[in-house]
């Protein structure tokens, strides 16, 4: 089963995704694919906070800003998150197509995959062309992945809403 | 506590008036503690951050002192991450505040195109 979890910033989607992966694995060990690439003190603080927080969880973490490991210990995998993976590819990797290839390859080999994504397309401001291209690419990636997903969930103020399929919890 | 969220001008005020027969008021953080229906929570949070006051202290007081409040807040987290740190913090604090208030709410509505969808 592939689950795509979306929502705005600080809507509770990551907490829900973590609950979901351990619900699926019945508490057994899961892999955590962390995609954030550290480029500032603020990001370093976020990564440190996440690492600290994940220590208490039954995760094997792989830092995967661009590509995923060939071997994953568990068949339960949480990918956090798509916007960072895409940004890493578009601003220093092999573009949208590269990100799409990597993620599609992952969906083909993992039995239970939970993907956290984000909404960035609801904004009045106009951005430089690189950013505009990124917004379009993330919308497209979400669209493509939603088609491949068994269940798409939008989290709103901490409440999961089924957009496609049935809520697993 | 009842929470209404939705994009700007999505029809939250009308939804509150229609469902609960009350007119939401735009008030300060202090006034919010005694206001039955509070509009624009996002502006209250912005003012608290501007004045370097604790958002979590305010929310705790709001829950304790005004537990039957009706609260309206704009959803602001679905654009590109702001370049400016102040804007980034504000956007995240608004998101966190709604998640927190939701847990203490007996009902949550999300308003889309004027239609209030009960999500809790």
Percent of chain B with pLDDT over 90: 98
Cβ-defined contact of A8 to B101 (cutoff 8 Å): no
All structural domains of chain A, each given as residue ranges with its CATH number in brackets, are 2-164 (3.40.50.300)
User: B105 pLDDT exceeds 90?
Assistant: yes
User: Which residues neighbour A129 within 8 Å (Cβ) at sequence distance 6 or greater?
Assistant: none
> What's the rounded mean pLDDT across residues B45-60?
98
Can you list the positions of beta strands (E) in A86-132? 112-116
User: A47 pLDDT exceeds 90?
Assistant: no
Cβ-defined contact of B95 to A42 (cutoff 8 Å): no
**Using a CB-CB distance cutoff of 8 angstroms, which residues of chain A are in contact with residue B96?**
10
pLDDT computed for residue A50 by the predictor: 80
User: A52 pLDDT exceeds 90?
Assistant: no
Q: Tell which of A117, A157, A160 to mutate to test the B interface (max B CBs under 10 Å).
A: A157
State yes or no: cis peptide before B26, omega within 30 of 0: no
Range of the domain at B101: 2-118
The answer to whether B62 touches B32, Cβ cutoff 8 Å, is yes
Q: How many domains does chain B have?
A: 1
Residues in a beta bridge with A31: A60, A77
> What's the rounded mean pLDDT across residues A10-35?
96
> What's the rounded mean pLDDT across residues B7-30?
97
CATH number, domain of B88, equals: 3.40.50.300
User: A38 pLDDT exceeds 90?
Assistant: no
Cβ-defined contact of B78 to A120 (cutoff 8 Å): yes
Other CB atoms within a 10 A radius of the CB of residue B86 amount to 11
Tell me the pLDDT tens digit for each residue of A97-131. 999 999 999 999 999 999 999 999 888 789 999 99
Q: Tell which of B72, B74, B80 to mutate to test the A interface (max A CBs under 10 Å).
A: B80
Cβ-defined contact of B75 to A7 (cutoff 8 Å): no
Query: Residue A150 is encoded by which pair of tokens?
Result: 């068994």
Percent of chain B with pLDDT over 70: 100
User: A72 pLDDT exceeds 90?
Assistant: yes
Measured CA to CA, the distance from residue B73 to residue B71 in angstroms comes to: 7
The answer to whether B107 touches B119, Cβ cutoff 8 Å, is no
**Using a CB-CB distance cutoff of 8 angstroms, which residues of chain B are in contact with residue A125?**
79-80
Q: Is the ipTM of this complex over 0.90?
A: yes
Nearest to A157 among B78, B92, B102 (CB): B102
Cβ-defined contact of A121 to B78 (cutoff 8 Å): yes
DSSP, collapsed to helix, strand or coil, labels residue B94 as helix
User: A40 pLDDT exceeds 90?
Assistant: no
The number of CA neighbours under 13 Å toward the Cβ of A23 is 12
User: A49 pLDDT exceeds 90?
Assistant: no
Query: Residue B4 is encoded by which pair of tokens?
Result: 């209404």
């Amino acid at each position: 089963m592939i689950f795509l979890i979306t929502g705005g910033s600080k809507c509770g989607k990551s907490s829900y995704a973590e609950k979901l992966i351990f619900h699926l694995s019945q508490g057994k060990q899961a892999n955590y694919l962390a995609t954030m690439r550290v480029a500032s003190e603020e990001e370093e603080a976020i990564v440190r906070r996440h690492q600290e927080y994940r220590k208490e969880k039954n995760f094997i973490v792989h830092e995967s800003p661009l590509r995923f490991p060939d071997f994953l210990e568990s068949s339960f995998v949480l990918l956090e998150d798509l916007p960072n993976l895409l940004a890493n590819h578009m601003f220093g990797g092999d573009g949208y197509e590269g990100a799409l290839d990597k993620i599609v390859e992952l969906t083909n080999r993992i039995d239970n995959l939970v993907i956290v994504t984000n909404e960035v397309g609801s904004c009045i401001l106009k951005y430089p062309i690189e950013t505009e291209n990124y917004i379009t690419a993330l919308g497209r990636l979400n669209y493509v992945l939603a088609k491949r997903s068994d269940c798409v969930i939008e989290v709103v103020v901490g409440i999961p809403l089924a957009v496609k399929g049935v809520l697993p919890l | 506590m009842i929470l209404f969220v939705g994009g700007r001008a999505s029809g939250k005020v009308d939804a509150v008036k229609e469902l609960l027969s009350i007119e939401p008021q735009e008030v300060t953080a202090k006034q919010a503690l005694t206001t039955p229906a509070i509009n624009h929570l996002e502006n209250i949070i912005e003012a608290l951050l501007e004045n370097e006051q604790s958002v979590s202290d305010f929310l705790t007081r709001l829950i304790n002192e005004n537990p039957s409040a009706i609260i309206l807040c704009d959803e602001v987290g679905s654009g590109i991450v702001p370049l400016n740190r102040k804007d980034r913090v504000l956007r995240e604090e608004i998101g966190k505040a709604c998640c927190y208030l939701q847990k203490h709410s007996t009902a949550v509505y999300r308003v889309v195109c004027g239609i209030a969808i009960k999500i809790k």
